[in-house]
Structure 1
Amino acid sequence: MKKNLAIAIIMVFMLSLLAACGSTKEAEPAATDAGKATATAAPGATTAPAAATDAPAASNIKGKVTFATNRTDMIGKQYVEYAKKFNEKYPEAEINFEAVLDYDKTIKIRLASGDLPDILLIPTIPKADLPKYFAPLDDLGLNDRIYFKDFQATEGKVYGIASGGNTSGIVYNKKDFAEAGITEVPKTLTEFYAASAKLKAKGFTPLASNFKDKWPLGGWINDVSTIASGNANTMNERKNSDAPYSVEGPILAGSLILKEMNKQGYLEKDINSSNWELSKKDVATGKSAMYYLGNWVINQVIDAGAKTEDVGFFPFPVNDSGKLAAPLGPDWFYGVNKDSKNLETAKAFVKWLIEDSGFDDFAGFIPVLKDKKPNLPQLSEFTANNPTMIEGVPNDDDTTAINNKAQITAEDLVQEVVLGDPKAVAEKYNKKWADAKKALAK
């Protein structure tokens, strides 16, 4: 990614947030890792978007297609309306939705078996493998209108389009903070621990970890390592080391913070029974005071019963430097199975999701379309804390290959550090990494 691209998107992002500050519309409710392209116009500008002249012909958009989604909470609800609206636009087309848990792991298994739906979210695979499974999406007329187009691209072709953009931080219940006497959001890790102690003393669960459901733990490595190091390439640079995991390094920094939170009783009483769906209600009602997640969860908390004005968002202070930072990058990427029997219909649904569904507003995303501004007031509070926004970068193919060979998942690593001896866990994962790297001669 070129330096000027990073500067451009961050400028557009900030302009977007300023424009969103005056919005009174309540966004409605979305889900894992924190890149950018040069904008032709700031969100809200009058410049017309590029014409989608190469979009699939309507006459070819027919037949049944299935979308495998990680948004299990939308099955039987919002997706019913999506299917209806898409069918109104394309009467001969039918969209079905398949809910998938433990998405990345499950879809990678299905890639190997060939059991793929028509539309899916692209798992963590090397970009060189994209043409094996996915159809190019350059004919949708979106390439010049979107951010992150180079993330899931190879050999000059785009195979994935981001569902939206994200940053991560602390989503919190403002009523809980007020009752605990917390008048300012924490700016250092010491202040964060102190706030957690005050919340616990008032009977609140300071932080909902979703430890049992596991997938929400990924940010404690993928995002916190970026914040702690100030380097978006921290996870990619693992390929340069035979021992990238260390209790002194940035990769385990978030896991060690979570371990301390658990030790002090600042997480759920029984972390092995924590539940994702219940935790949203707990944060909404104030039983739990905080999350460490992306901005996408804000609307889910509101949908679970919280008032918009009672939900806040601030950068996570991972150390005592007083210098706040946050990752900035794409959420999941939509991809289309190259062997879909109704390929044009599948592509048309991806285009519809980006342009017409309103999913980015529903999910609380930073829109992937360059000419669309975000609709989430909590983002203005976040940026008021002046964090350094660290632009995400695409996954490095060599690093991804080593990681897959070693069968390392960030969520498992976090759990093992929290529940075990961090040094022993680091040694275990360093050995797995070194063995995989040697086997692949990387």
Structure 2
Amino acid sequence: MKKKSVMLTFLMVFALSAILAACGGNNGNNTANSGNSGNSGTTNSTEQNSGGDGGEASGNELSGKVTFLTNRTDMIGKEYDEYVKRFNEKYPNIKIEFEASQTDYNQQAKVRMASGELPDLMFIPDIPNSDLPKYFAPLDDLQLSSGLTFKDFKSYDGKLYGITTGNSTSGIVYNKKAFADAGITEIPKTWDEFLAACEKLKQNGVIPLSSNFKDKWPLGSWVYDLPRVIENNKDFPNEIINTETPFTMDNGYGKAMSLIKELADKGYLEKDINSTNWEQSKKDIANGKMAMYFLGNWVINQVIGVGAESDNIGFFPLPFDNSGDSRAAFNPDFFYAVNKDSKNLEATKAFLTWMLEDSGYEDFAGFISPLEGRESKLSQLAEFQATGVELQEGMPDDPKVIEIRNKAQIDLPAIAQEFVLAKDPQAVLDKWNKAWAKAKQELGY
């Protein structure tokens, strides 16, 4: 992607996402090049009848029951209830039920797929795009007010099967008062400046960066986004198909993991990185006991939601080296999908359309809208963009890379955990290079 002007607006960035090449994906999200990974218009007015639960009507008279398997357990009984109330003002005869994923969403979704017991609406787990038609209904007939971002990420054979719930960019979410109290007057623009800021925070009795190391999934930005940003190559995670040694100290993976290891070695992460607590960390960022996250913009509203003043939470690009270059990843999050065997197919599509157009979920979740041209209401994103950062759009994962990675049992956040704790990080890379090469050979690649 060509380097953008510092005056480039997010609106222009969103429009560009429609030209992504077709093909092949917080906590465990389906992001670009991830291998994993929390947004008023027209409704679906197709005249086909819905079935199941005795519901049979057309247009705005659709009826039936729609089940939605979600990872947002925090919204059940709260925001989701409000969504249903508003949705039923348009569709009074459609009942919405939420199923909570209490464990690893990706794994739970795969178990449900294997058993043939899918909900009506869900998020797409980490499967090849060639498998999408086996489980999900095409969504090309949804009547939306504008084009979709990252439309080609979950398409196959010219048909659309998945729609992003929202988009995000990774950066440093920080407590402004904690910075000010530590004497940090300017946003770090180089890695050395970032380390200096961390030292000031540490000396002031504040934990510089919350990694949630033990939980593993919060390390995703370090291993899915940062390597390709360091390489300045949006397709870097796919190009490893051409090598037997994808993990080296001097490429994006080694450099990214070395950065978080340096933070750990200098005592800039949690005092005990093996006993972190995700929910508590949000409160600690909000009250200034911890100063920073390296996560997507989706976490900003969660920090505000546990007590932070919005004006006290900022967002800037992570300076990954001393060049002064400013780049950050731009990715989709989970992708909605509709069960092709749903007994209430049109009712489910109506609810999905409403979620995209009218729910306001992207604003609640701190996402960039999945619909092209909608500007974010998150003020922190304006602060982020004002730094002149170049947003690097992700590429869909190459199916061959997914296949090799799965066969080799490569879990990038888990590898980062090993790397950070290892006395000999090179040995960790050697171990997983060997696993990659073996799987690649056995698969004939």
**Identity within the alignment, %:** 52
Unaligned 5+ runs, structure 1: 18-29, 36-47
Compute the RMSD of aligned alpha carbons.
2.5
The question of whether the paired residues in 2 share the 8 Å contact of 1:55 and 1:141 is answered with no
Distance apart, 1:58 and its partner CA: 3.2
Residue pairs, 1:44-59, within 5 angstroms: 54=46, 57-58=58-59
Task: Specify the alignment match of 2:359 in structure 1.
Answer: 357
Structure 2 distance, partners of 1:176, 1:339, is 52
Distance apart, 1:201 and its partner CA: 0.6
Change (3 A) 1:341 1:287: same
Structure 1 distance, partners of 2:42, 2:91, is 22
1:401 aligns with 2:403: yes
Change (3 A) 1:339 1:378: same
Structure 1 distance, partners of 2:174, 2:403, is 37
Alignment partner of 1:417: what SS? Answer: helix
Change (3 A) 1:302 1:262: same
* Deviations, residues 342-377 of structure 1 (Å, cap 9, x unaligned): 222222221111001100111111111124211011
* Deviations, residues 164-213 of structure 1 (Å, cap 9, x unaligned): 11111000000000000001111111111111111011111110111122
Structure 1 distance, partners of 2:42, 2:344, is 26
Structure 2 distance, partners of 1:172, 1:271, is 19
Change (3 A) 1:84 1:175: same
Structure 1 distance, partners of 2:158, 2:273, is 45
Residues 96-105 or 166-175, more deviating = 96-105
Kindly provide the amino acid, as one letter, of the partner of residue 374 in structure 1. Answer: S
Structure 1 distance, partners of 2:47, 2:208, is 49
Task: Specify the alignment match of 1:78 in structure 2.
Answer: 79
Change (3 A) 1:230 1:361: same
Task: Please point out which of 429, 437, 442 is paired with 2:440.
Answer: 437
* Deviations, residues 264-313 of structure 1 (Å, cap 9, x unaligned): 11111121211111111110111110000011111111111111110000
Change (3 A) 1:12 1:153: farther
Distance apart, 1:112 and its partner CA: 2.9
Change (3 A) 1:108 1:254: farther
Residue pairs, 1:270-281, within 5 angstroms: 270-281=272-283
Task: Specify the alignment match of 2:53 in structure 1.
Answer: none
Structure 2 distance, partners of 1:273, 1:294, is 22
The question of whether the paired residues in 1 share the 8 Å contact of 2:235 and 2:395 is answered with yes
Task: Specify the alignment match of 1:422 in structure 2.
Answer: 425
* Deviations, residues 222-279 of structure 1 (Å, cap 9, x unaligned): 1111211111111111211121011221023222211111111111112121111111
Task: Specify the alignment match of 2:332 in structure 1.
Answer: 330
Change (3 A) 1:316 1:55: farther
Task: Specify the alignment match of 1:370 in structure 2.
Answer: 372
1:244 aligns with 2:241: no
Residues 195-204 or 54-63, more deviating = 54-63
Task: Specify the alignment match of 1:97 in structure 2.
Answer: 98
Task: Specify the alignment match of 2:203 in structure 1.
Answer: 201
Residues 91-100 or 298-307, more deviating = 91-100
Kindly provide the amino acid, as one letter, of the partner of residue 333 in structure 1. Answer: F
Structure 1 distance, partners of 2:441, 2:144, is 41
Task: Please point out which of 185, 188, 203 is paired with 1:186.
Answer: 188
* Deviations, residues 308-348 of structure 1 (Å, cap 9, x unaligned): 11000000111111111001121111111112222222222
1:128 aligns with 2:130: yes
The question of whether the paired residues in 2 share the 8 Å contact of 1:34 and 1:167 is answered with no
Task: Specify the alignment match of 2:260 in structure 1.
Answer: 258
Task: Specify the alignment match of 2:159 in structure 1.
Answer: 157
Change (3 A) 1:269 1:380: same
Unaligned 5+ runs, structure 2: 15-25, 33-39, 49-57
Task: Specify the alignment match of 1:384 in structure 2.
Answer: 386
Distance apart, 1:7 and its partner CA: 7.6
The question of whether the paired residues in 1 share the 8 Å contact of 2:219 and 2:416 is answered with yes
In the superposition, the TM-score normalised over structure 2's length comes to: 0.87
Kindly provide the amino acid, as one letter, of the partner of residue 384 in structure 2. Answer: F
Count, aligned residues: 414
Change (3 A) 1:241 1:115: farther
Task: Specify the alignment match of 1:13 in structure 2.
Answer: 10
Alignment partner of 1:251: what SS? Answer: helix
The question of whether the paired residues in 2 share the 8 Å contact of 1:162 and 1:331 is answered with yes
Structure 2 distance, partners of 1:188, 1:33, is 30
The question of whether the paired residues in 2 share the 8 Å contact of 1:221 and 1:253 is answered with no
Alignment partner of 2:95: what SS? Answer: strand
Distance apart, 1:85 and its partner CA: 2.2
Alignment partner of 2:303: what SS? Answer: helix
Distance apart, 1:426 and its partner CA: 0.9
* Deviations, residues 373-395 of structure 1 (Å, cap 9, x unaligned): 11011111111211121111112
Change (3 A) 1:324 1:188: same
